[in-house]
Amino acid sequence: MSIAGIGRAARQSVSGLPREFWWLWTSTLINRMGSFVATFLALYLTLDRGYSASFAGVVAALHGLGGVVSSLGAGVMADRLGRRPTLLIAQVSTAFSVALLGFMQQPVTIAAVAFVAGMAANASRPAVQAMMADIVPAGDRVRAFSLNYWAINVGFAFSSLVAGLIAEHSYLIGFLGEGVLTLVCAVLVFLKLPESRPEPVAGAGAEATAESAVSMGTVLRDRRYMGVVGLSFLMAFIFMQHTVALPVAMGADGFSPGEYGTVIAVNGVLIVAVQIPVTRLIEHRDPRWLLTISALLTGYGFGLTAFAGSIGVYMLTVVVWTLAEIINSPTQMGLIVRLSPAQGRGRYQGMYTMSWSVAALTAPLVGGTVIDHWGADALWGICAVVGTVAAAGYWFLMRSLPEESPAADPADGAQTAAPKAAGADAAATGTTAAVPGRPEAEPASA
């Protein structure tokens, strides 16, 4: 492809998305550039503080338990209080709790503050995902989720390399740095992002009334959706092994924190390099095939870690499961929004987020315990089995997935109801806000 062709493809990938999306994207990028605690917590506890892999797993699990507690509550807050207030509360709380964690000395206080930090950090996710679904039209959502995921991994690649070097000198600097950058995100949300929560349209009839009555019971009774949530948990259980099991296993093999940072940075660098072009290939393809293939690649990508004995082989395994991640993330996020009613997006996203939070709770416990008792190779074999089960689950669950109808997309109603809220928030913050859902650039080509 010529340089002109590459430039044209790049413009098509980013054009036509609302201005609010790009502020949310920028906030995500800054936040991930400062991500330190989740990536290096296990190494901090085992190498710097001298605790066992089991204790590191318990602390990481408590960090995940905090996320479980906050997931559903934050989803309800996003629907009732609004996306923007939920984001502000979550980000300010995260900034102070992660900074405090760096000063904790005793095992009990480390565990307690890790729980609070996990609860605060996870509270922003349902609001971010619901806001993105509110402001981006249905036909552009897979592309928007892909671009946001791309930002996550640009920041992750940067933080993995830099934080790995920082960790070799002072872990405290990493904790404080994450706190400062998270506060920057909160300021950005306060100044630039209007509220996007859709309001019921007056006179819309019984259908709008039924949708506005969405509760957590509605979510739990949605069998197809809960099946997707269960499969998401299995995928997250495998992916989360890179936060505790992989660094602990590499540390036991004699590799340094900097070498782990280099290996895990391959994940972010590869996503930065190929996420957008891959998304252009998959965004209109059958999600059943995409999710099935991604589950197999995830399970066997981590399974191959059993044969890793050098930095090069570890990098190769990361490449395999990263390709799975590139396919799975935007496809699954698009599916989650497709199955969620507009007035209940916060609750539905909260339930989806909880699947990752429960995985963040159980994966470190299982990973640390298996490594301590049976060795890392047994854990990588379990990952391969779980990936196979998830692939079969996606294949059978999505056999009769209904066709999406962009013309009847619930977001259309949100876009017509949003101007009043956007204008009110803009007046309060002193900014000029665009109407959520209205592209500020030329619409993307079909």
What pLDDT does residue 230 have? 93
What pLDDT does residue 214 have? 75
Residue 446 DSSP SS3: coil
Q: Is residue 97 part of a domain?
A: yes
Q: Is residue 54 part of a domain?
A: yes
Side-chain-facing half-sphere of 177: CA atoms under 13 Å: 17
Residue ranges in the chain whose pLDDT is less than 70: 1-13, 15, 200-213, 400-446
Q: pTM of the predicted model, to two decimals?
A: 0.68
- pLDDT tens by residue, 1-56: 445 544 555 566 676 788 888 888 888 888 888 777 777 787 788 877 878 877 88
Q: Is residue 359 part of a domain?
A: yes
Q: Is residue 210 part of a domain?
A: no
Total number of residues shown for the chain? 446
Buried b (16+ CB within 10 A) or exposed e, 247-280: bbbbbeeebebebbbbbbbbbbbbbbeebbebbe
Please count the structural domains in the chain.
1
What pLDDT does residue 314 have? 92
CATH code where residue 97 lies: 1.20.1250.20
- Chain centroid, CA 35 distance in Å: 12
Closest to 247 measured CA to CA, from 17, 7, 18, 46: 46
Closest to 58 measured CA to CA, from 99, 98, 115, 117: 115
Q: Is residue 309 part of a domain?
A: yes
Q: Is residue 444 part of a domain?
A: no
Which domain range does residue 314 map to?
Answer: 18-198+216-429
C-alpha–C-alpha distance, residues 221 and 226, integer Å: 8
Q: Is residue 69 part of a domain?
A: yes
Q: Is residue 124 part of a domain?
A: yes
What pLDDT does residue 65 have? 83
